[in-house]
Amino acid sequence: MPTIPATDEISDRATAALERCGADRPAEITATGQLFARTPITGGSLLPLARAADSDVDHAVSAAHQAFRSTWQHTPAPERGALVRRLGELLREHKYDLADLVTIEAGKIRSEAAGEVQEMIDICDFALGLSRQLYGRTMASERPGHRLMETWHPLGVVGVITAFNFPVAVWAWNTAVALVCGDTVVWKPSELTPLTALACDALLSRAASDVGAPADVHRLVLGEREVAERLVDDPRVALVSATGSVRMGRQVGPRVASRLGRCLLELGGNNAAVVTSSADLDLAVRGTVFAAAGTAGQRCTSLRRLIVHEDVADALVGRIVDAYGQLRIGDPFDEDTLVGPLVGEQALTAMRNALARATADGGTVLVGGSRCLEKEAPDAYYAEPAVVRMPAQTEIVREETFAPILYVMTYRTFDEAIELHNGVSQGLSSAVFTRDQREAERFLSLSDCGIVNVNIGTSGAEIGGAFGGEKDTGGGRESGSDAWKAYMRRATNTVNYSEELPLAQGVRFL
């Protein structure tokens, strides 16, 4: 019988991890009310924290703005890279402290929490290399004795708003890249994960002090959406990088646009995998179960829809249902656990409502869907991941329910599969399982998502690629490749080294 640790035990573990990271509760924040750190493992409250007042947000933006103007934008990029290198060293040292906090606040199992911190380390390595590679182009000028080129310059303050389910990696994607680009950062983490944020902030402050960077290259403000809104509306915030639900993006996008600010949106997904008749079903089963049930279905890239060729549907679904029967649900600190808790009651309610709507639409729940461990943890919300066979892609299937529900639909022709696949409003991650190269190539070009995979699941991206999605997912790109360009401004420069002043397009004047 799985056991769940007591809240006091978890609280002691959180305090110890915070102390090792050098994190105190932010002294300069004037409390407008208390914000309680809590854990979904038991549903219990951990530590009281101060919520930032409007004046704290204004002060944080002023400090970051001043650090940008006076120092950071003028610091050579490779020197800025030294800060990120030091942060990466500290993250290596405190990998398991941060992982503890991620497990405690987001409920991720140990290996996934450690994997999330590894992602932070990886992006620091990437950003360090990037600090010597912020390349511009030179173009052939149409005028003799002229040089045409583009150069990239720091943008200003970046306001980073993050979601609960990737409480540290998404911050690191933004912050490591923004810092080498010469920007300063003000971070509003999810109200559900303030402790991980305090630990990250403390490590970055230490890194800044170790390399002699200004302390105000980074500021943290804790609180709910009102705190984020203050950041969103501040004209000194040159870029708002916001990760969260489509609902949040619909509110943030227009507000930033109304002041003609820049926005980078990373919003919800409704990710699907197509399994063709030629697929290696061993790969498809493993890829599906990790992507759909892993992280208790609480990844933006979680697999939510399985679109299977009718010839292999029964065989595949039977094996997935068997695999779901082996999933151990419980304490995410227990090495044998594969599925931790849902983040809160709202998630369980959303899951139940979605299952009720799916069955009303003619769906059949093949496995899972019930709440579990209610006796062991009455204030926590553990649920059995569910697989639901659907006769069609109904409205509930087209919505993102942030819980472990996998809807299975069948198709006959590849065109039909693509139509079902693209027939949702979100466009984050997608996969095809096939051994037919033509199907693989067609999927790579026809999937309308930002992430398109072959023979692996939808979740678990590497930092080297640009991460993000299309349609309602917001269109933003973060992390690797040339995503850094969103954090800089581009200038086109024309230099005349001749003794004439020819005008472009052959225009004559004077």
The reply to whether 404 sits near ligand NAD by the rule CB under 6 A is no
The reply to whether 402 sits near ligand NAD by the rule CB under 6 A is yes
384 in catalytic set: no
The reply to whether 481 sits near ligand NAD by the rule CB under 6 A is no
Site string for ligand NAD, 63-102 (x = CB under 6 A): ----------------------------------------
By C-beta, is 251 or 277 nearer to ligand NAD?
251
Task: Round to whole Å and give the CA distance between 358 and 482.
Answer: 40
By C-beta, is 402 or 407 nearer to ligand NAD?
402
Residue 9: count other Cβ atoms within 10 Å of its Cβ: 13
What is the separation, in whole angstroms, between the first and last Cα of the chain? 90
Q: DSSP labels for 448-495?
A: -SSEEEESS-SS---TTSEE--EETT-S--EESTTGGGGGEEEEEEEE
The least distance separating ligand NAD from the CB of residue 232, rounded to whole angstroms, comes to 6
For residue 354, the Cα-to-chain-centroid distance in whole angstroms is 24
Q: Which residue has the tokens 């509110």?
A: 251
The least distance separating ligand NAD from the CB of residue 228, rounded to whole angstroms, comes to 3
263 in catalytic set: no
The least distance separating ligand NAD from the CB of residue 56, rounded to whole angstroms, comes to 15
The reply to whether 400 sits near ligand NAD by the rule CB under 6 A is yes
The least distance separating ligand NAD from the CB of residue 302, rounded to whole angstroms, comes to 8
The least distance separating ligand NAD from the CB of residue 303, rounded to whole angstroms, comes to 13
Q: Which residues contact 297 (CB under 8 A, 6 or more apart)?
A: 304, 385, 402, 403, 404, 405
By C-beta, is 400 or 439 nearer to ligand NAD?
400
Q: DSSP labels for 376-427?
A: T-TTSBEE--EEEE-SS--TTTTS--SSSEEEEEEESSHHHHHHHHH-SSEE
Interaction residues for ligand NAD, span 297-316 (CB under 6 A): 300
Task: Round to whole Å and give the CA distance between 66 and 234.
Answer: 14
The least distance separating ligand NAD from the CB of residue 126, rounded to whole angstroms, comes to 17
Burial class (CB in 10 A: 0-12, 13-18, 19+), 245: middle
By C-beta, is 216 or 229 nearer to ligand NAD?
229
Among 125, 224, 379, 436, the residue binding ligand NAD under the rule CB under 6 A is 224
Which of the residues 105, 266, 384, 478 is marked catalytic? 266
Interaction residues for ligand NAD, span 10-69 (CB under 6 A): none
* Of the candidates 110, 11, 47, 70, the residue with the CA atom closest to the CA atom of residue 214: 70
By C-beta, is 75 or 190 nearer to ligand NAD?
190
Residue 188 phi, psi dihedral angles, 5° rounding: -115, 100
Among 243, 271, 434, 447, the residue binding ligand NAD under the rule CB under 6 A is 243
Among 151, 251, 278, 422, the residue binding ligand NAD under the rule CB under 6 A is 251
Token pair for residue 129?
């290399």
Residue nearest to ligand NAD (CB): 244
What is the amino acid identity at position 225? Answer: R
The site for ligand NAD (CB under 6 A) is made up of 161-166, 170, 188, 190-191, 224-225, 228-229, 232, 243-245, 248, 251-252, 266-269, 300, 400, 402, 428, 473
The set of catalytic residues is 266, 300
